[in-house]
Structure 1
Amino acid sequence: MLRSLYVDLNSYFASVEQQADPSLRGRPIAVVPMIADTTCAIAASYEAKRFGVKTGTIVADAKTMCPDLVLVEAHHGIYVEYHHRIVEAVEQVIHVKSVNSIDEMVCDLTGSARNREKAVAIAHDVKRSIKEHVGSEMLCSVGIAPNDYLAKTATDMQKPDGLVVIEQEDLPNVLYSMELQDLCGVGRKMYQRLWKHGIYTVEMLCTASKQQLHDVWGGIEGDRLYARLRGEDVPHVETHKSTVGHSHVLEPSLRTHSGVIGVVHRLLQKAATRLRQYGLVTAEVTVSIRFVGGERWKCECDITPTQDVVQLTSVMSTMLSQLPTEGIPFKASIALNKVSPADSTPQPLFDNIGPARQSLNASIDSINKKYGKNTLYLGPAWNALQSAPMRIAFTHIPDSNSE
Structure 2
Amino acid sequence: MRKPETIERLYLDFDGFFASVEQQCDKRLRDRPIGVVPFAGTDRTAVIACSKEAKARGVKNIMKIQDAKKICPDLILVPQKPELYRRAHNALLCEIETIISIDAAKSIDELTCILDDSGRRDPELLSSRIKSHIRQMIGPYITCSIGFAANRHLAKMACKAGKDATKRTGNYGNGLAIWHPHELTDHLFQVQLEDVPAVGRNMAKRLYKHNIYTTEALYNLQPKHMRRIWNSVTGERLWYALHGYDIQAQPQKRGMFGHGRVLPPEARTIHGAYEISRLLLTKAARRLRRENYYADGLSLWLSIRDGSSFHNMRLATVNDDQATLTALRQLWDKVIKEYPRGLTIFRVSVTLYDLSPANARQIDLLNNDDTTRQKWEKASTAIDDLNSRYSKTIVSLGEWKPPAGGHVGGKISYVRIPSPEDFW
The two structures have a TM-score, normalised by structure 1, of 0.92
C-alpha change, 1:348 and 1:91, in structure 2 (3 Å) is farther
Deviations 1:333-366 (A, max 9, x none): 2111212332233478896676654443333223
Equivalent residue runs for 1:152-301 within 5 Å: 152-159=156-163, 160-291=173-304, 293-294=305-306, 296-301=308-313
Task: Kindly state the Cα deviation for residue 305 of structure 1 after the two structures are TM-superposed.
Answer: 1.8
Task: Kindly state the Cα deviation for residue 238 of structure 1 after the two structures are TM-superposed.
Answer: 0.8
Q: Is the CA contact 1:374–1:385 (under 8 Å) kept in the aligned structure 2?
A: no
| Alpha-carbon distance between aligned partners in 2 of 1:166 and 1:41, rounded to the nearest angstrom | 33
Q: Which runs of 5+ in 2 are unaligned?
A: 1-5, 164-172
| Alpha-carbon distance between aligned partners in 2 of 1:201 and 1:338, rounded to the nearest angstrom | 39
| Alpha-carbon distance between aligned partners in 1 of 2:191 and 2:149, rounded to the nearest angstrom | 16
| Alpha-carbon distance between aligned partners in 2 of 1:17 and 1:143, rounded to the nearest angstrom | 25
Task: Kindly state the Cα deviation for residue 268 of structure 1 after the two structures are TM-superposed.
Answer: 0.7
- Which AA in structure 1 matches 2:37? V
Deviations 1:83-116 (A, max 9, x none): 0101101111111111110001111123x23533
Query: 1:402 aligns to what?
Result: 422
C-alpha change, 1:369 and 1:329, in structure 2 (3 Å) is farther
Query: 1:133 aligns to what?
Result: 137
Q: Secondary structure at the match of 1:336?
A: strand
| Alpha-carbon distance between aligned partners in 2 of 1:31 and 1:199, rounded to the nearest angstrom | 38
| Alpha-carbon distance between aligned partners in 2 of 1:295 and 1:173, rounded to the nearest angstrom | 44
C-alpha change, 1:38 and 1:357, in structure 2 (3 Å) is closer
Query: 2:35 aligns to what?
Result: 30
| Alpha-carbon distance between aligned partners in 1 of 2:299 and 2:90, rounded to the nearest angstrom | 33
| Alpha-carbon distance between aligned partners in 2 of 1:67 and 1:323, rounded to the nearest angstrom | 40
Q: Which of 388, 396, 405 in structure 2 is aligned with 1:377?
A: 396
Task: Kindly state the Cα deviation for residue 43 of structure 1 after the two structures are TM-superposed.
Answer: 0.9
Which deviates more from structure 2 when the two are superposed, residues 1-10 or residues 335-344? 335-344
The two structures have a TM-score, normalised by structure 2, of 0.87
Between Structure 1 and Structure 2, how many residues are aligned? 399
| Alpha-carbon distance between aligned partners in 2 of 1:85 and 1:308, rounded to the nearest angstrom | 34
| Alpha-carbon distance between aligned partners in 2 of 1:5 and 1:301, rounded to the nearest angstrom | 44
Q: Is the CA contact 2:317–2:363 (under 8 Å) kept in the aligned structure 1?
A: no
Query: 1:392 aligns to what?
Result: 412
C-alpha change, 1:17 and 1:218, in structure 2 (3 Å) is same
Q: Which of 13, 19, 43 in structure 1 is aligned with 2:24?
A: 19
Q: Which of 120, 124, 133 in structure 2 is aligned with 1:120?
A: 124
Q: Which of 361, 376, 380 in structure 2 is aligned with 1:361?
A: 380
| Alpha-carbon distance between aligned partners in 1 of 2:273 and 2:120, rounded to the nearest angstrom | 57
| Alpha-carbon distance between aligned partners in 2 of 1:269 and 1:260, rounded to the nearest angstrom | 14
Query: 1:327 aligns to what?
Result: 342
Task: Kindly state the Cα deviation for residue 155 of structure 1 after the two structures are TM-superposed.
Answer: 0.8
Q: Is the CA contact 2:301–2:350 (under 8 Å) kept in the aligned structure 1?
A: yes
Which deviates more from structure 2 when the two are superposed, residues 63-72 or residues 349-358? 349-358
Q: Is the CA contact 1:262–1:382 (under 8 Å) kept in the aligned structure 2?
A: no
Which deviates more from structure 2 when the two are superposed, residues 359-368 or residues 47-56? 359-368
Task: Kindly state the Cα deviation for residue 295 of structure 1 after the two structures are TM-superposed.
Answer: 6.1
Which deviates more from structure 2 when the two are superposed, residues 200-209 or residues 8-17? 200-209
Task: Kindly state the Cα deviation for residue 201 of structure 1 after the two structures are TM-superposed.
Answer: 1.1
Q: Which of 317, 320, 323 in structure 2 is aligned with 1:305?
A: 317
Q: Secondary structure at the match of 2:334?
A: coil
| Alpha-carbon distance between aligned partners in 1 of 2:290 and 2:105, rounded to the nearest angstrom | 18
Tell me the percent identity. Answer: 31
Which deviates more from structure 2 when the two are superposed, residues 335-344 or residues 144-153? 335-344
Q: Which runs of 5+ in 1 are unaligned?
A: none
Q: Is the CA contact 1:211–1:223 (under 8 Å) kept in the aligned structure 2?
A: yes
Q: Which of 46, 58, 66 in structure 1 is aligned with 2:64?
A: 58
C-alpha change, 1:213 and 1:138, in structure 2 (3 Å) is same
C-alpha change, 1:321 and 1:217, in structure 2 (3 Å) is same
CA RMSD, Structure 1 to Structure 2 (Å): 2.3
Q: Which of 353, 356, 371 in structure 2 is aligned with 1:340?
A: 356
| Alpha-carbon distance between aligned partners in 2 of 1:81 and 1:375, rounded to the nearest angstrom | 23
Query: 1:101 aligns to what?
Result: 107
| Alpha-carbon distance between aligned partners in 2 of 1:251 and 1:163, rounded to the nearest angstrom | 40
Q: Is the CA contact 2:300–2:349 (under 8 Å) kept in the aligned structure 1?
A: yes
Task: Kindly state the Cα deviation for residue 138 of structure 1 after the two structures are TM-superposed.
Answer: 1.0
C-alpha change, 1:257 and 1:92, in structure 2 (3 Å) is same
C-alpha change, 1:355 and 1:113, in structure 2 (3 Å) is farther
Query: 2:169 aligns to what?
Result: none
Deviations 1:234-278 (A, max 9, x none): 122112122221222322333344322211211110111121233
Q: Is the CA contact 1:267–1:334 (under 8 Å) kept in the aligned structure 2?
A: yes
C-alpha change, 1:318 and 1:270, in structure 2 (3 Å) is same
Q: Which of 2, 15, 18 in structure 2 is aligned with 1:10?
A: 15
